[in-house]
Structure 1
Amino acid sequence: MYKTQRNYENAQRMLFDGVGQYDIPELEPVQFDNAEFIGFNYARNAKEPENKAVHFFLDDYQFTRVWTDPDKYTAMLQRFKYVLTPDFSLYTDFPKSLQIYNHYRKHWLGAYWQMHGINVIPTICWSDRKSFEWCFDGEPTQGVVAVSSVGTQNSTEKKQRFLDGYLEMVERLQPTQIIFYGRVPDECKGNIVHVKRFSEKWHEVEVAQW
């Protein structure tokens, strides 16, 4: 029973027609109107999920379980208005093979959720310019996308890598809206929907109470 539930890398559960050199599952574009964003770690007990969107801008360990046991969470995620694809890390010091694997996992889950009727917003991730060869494979054009600037603005080098990828994303995908989690650099243009980090919201509450 365990073996059938935890199939090796989900390949026996479902295979999707892939695009690009690495057969990345392709996502369909969706449009966004309005929703309150919550982290996956708050999804199970969320009230009024039909008005909320689930994001995965968290440490990987908090959501790896959606990959290892996807069917356990699909029904829960179907309750939400939107679900972003998981933000599996693409650190620049990761081996290229691991970066591509994380990109594949993100898209496999997105395609699997779309197959189950979930409105999936693609989270766009990149590491450095070399990743542009594959990191946009499978992403839809002319739809809503999501990005996070968290952890990318604390050095000139990191900020430049983020801006390089952001501008490349805008040019290639021509998104209708950009869900932006974290601080928005002045150089980032487009139809941006800013989502504040939980820590920023908490700080605002503290200031208001003070």
Structure 2
Amino acid sequence: MTNFENLDKAIFPGVGPYGIPEIEPVTEYPSGDFIPMNYAKSEKHPEGKNVHCFVDDYQFIRYWNNPDTYIPKLRQFRSVCAPDFSTYIDMPAAMQIYNHYRKHWLAAYWQFHGMTVYPTISWSTPDSYSWCFDGEPKGGIVAVSSVGTQNSTESKRLFLRGYEEMIKRLSPPWVIFYGKVPEECDWNIICVKPHQDSIAERRRVKREEEGQAVGPA
């Protein structure tokens, strides 16, 4: 097999017209904090944390380009979410499907290497429903992001319609949710705080502790 698009490493059984690799459901409720994928390599205490990919694609493309390099580190975490390769509505359909395939190939590869992998679900327009749920497991916990989808009436409408379709097709017991949670989605949600908010909170606590240690002049 030619060393091309990771086909030399694995070819997984595919579903749907595009042969999307199938991934297994995860029903275990995630414990511990979530950190973005671009902080995974430097994380000193991975055993108590989970990793999400709700960052710009360039921040995690290396995990696709060199998947074996990062397996040892990722296996140290409690869980990882499947990579959120973009499926923007203004992208050509072929690029969206390619990104959906890459997401599932990496998720299946990580599961093959013993990781707990939560499916990350994404969609664009209703036309994408014919393939964007291929390979996704039913009845397990899933992850989604609303970032960039709540800025206009139309983008919010498309997000909510896809979210409703996801619930109908996959029946997830819980949804790991990154970004603003619309009122229509506020059910069985596991909220993931932006990493910068956690950093700011730790800095605030540290300043307060240092102030208490110094005491009044």
Is 1:49–2:46 an aligned residue pair? yes
Moved over 3 A (4+): 199-210
Which one-letter code corresponds to 2:162 in the other structure? G
Look up the match of 1:123: 120
Gaps of 5+ in 1: none
**Deviation at 1:207?**
8.5
Does the aligned pair in 2 maintain the 1:27–1:138 contact within 8 Å?
Answer: yes
**Deviation at 1:196?**
1.6
Aligned counterpart for 1:182 among listed residues 165, 179, 182: 179
Is 1:139–2:136 an aligned residue pair? yes
Does the aligned pair in 2 maintain the 1:19–1:138 contact within 8 Å?
Answer: yes
- Aligned mates of 1:171, 1:189 — CA distance in 2: 16
Q: Secondary structure at the match of 2:63?
A: helix
CA shift in 2, pair 1:33/1:57, >3 Å = closer
Q: How many residues align?
A: 206
Look up the match of 2:5: 9
Which one-letter code corresponds to 1:24 in the other structure? I
Which one-letter code corresponds to 2:46 in the other structure? P
**Deviation at 1:57?**
0.5
Does the aligned pair in 2 maintain the 1:124–1:136 contact within 8 Å?
Answer: yes
Does the aligned pair in 2 maintain the 1:28–1:140 contact within 8 Å?
Answer: yes
- Aligned mates of 1:199, 1:49 — CA distance in 2: 18
Which one-letter code corresponds to 1:8 in the other structure? F
Higher mean displacement: 153-162 or 43-52: 43-52
Look up the match of 1:65: 62
Does the aligned pair in 2 maintain the 1:50–1:80 contact within 8 Å?
Answer: yes
- Aligned mates of 1:33, 1:125 — CA distance in 2: 20
**Deviation at 1:204?**
6.0
Is 1:19–2:15 an aligned residue pair? yes
Look up the match of 1:84: 81
Aligned counterpart for 2:101 among listed residues 101, 104, 120: 104
Which one-letter code corresponds to 1:127 in the other structure? S
Higher mean displacement: 30-39 or 69-78: 30-39
- Aligned mates of 2:32, 2:21 — CA distance in 1: 26
Q: Secondary structure at the match of 2:51?
A: strand
CA shift in 2, pair 1:156/1:105, >3 Å = same
Q: Secondary structure at the match of 1:87?
A: coil
Gaps of 5+ in 2: 209-217
- Aligned mates of 2:197, 2:47 — CA distance in 1: 24
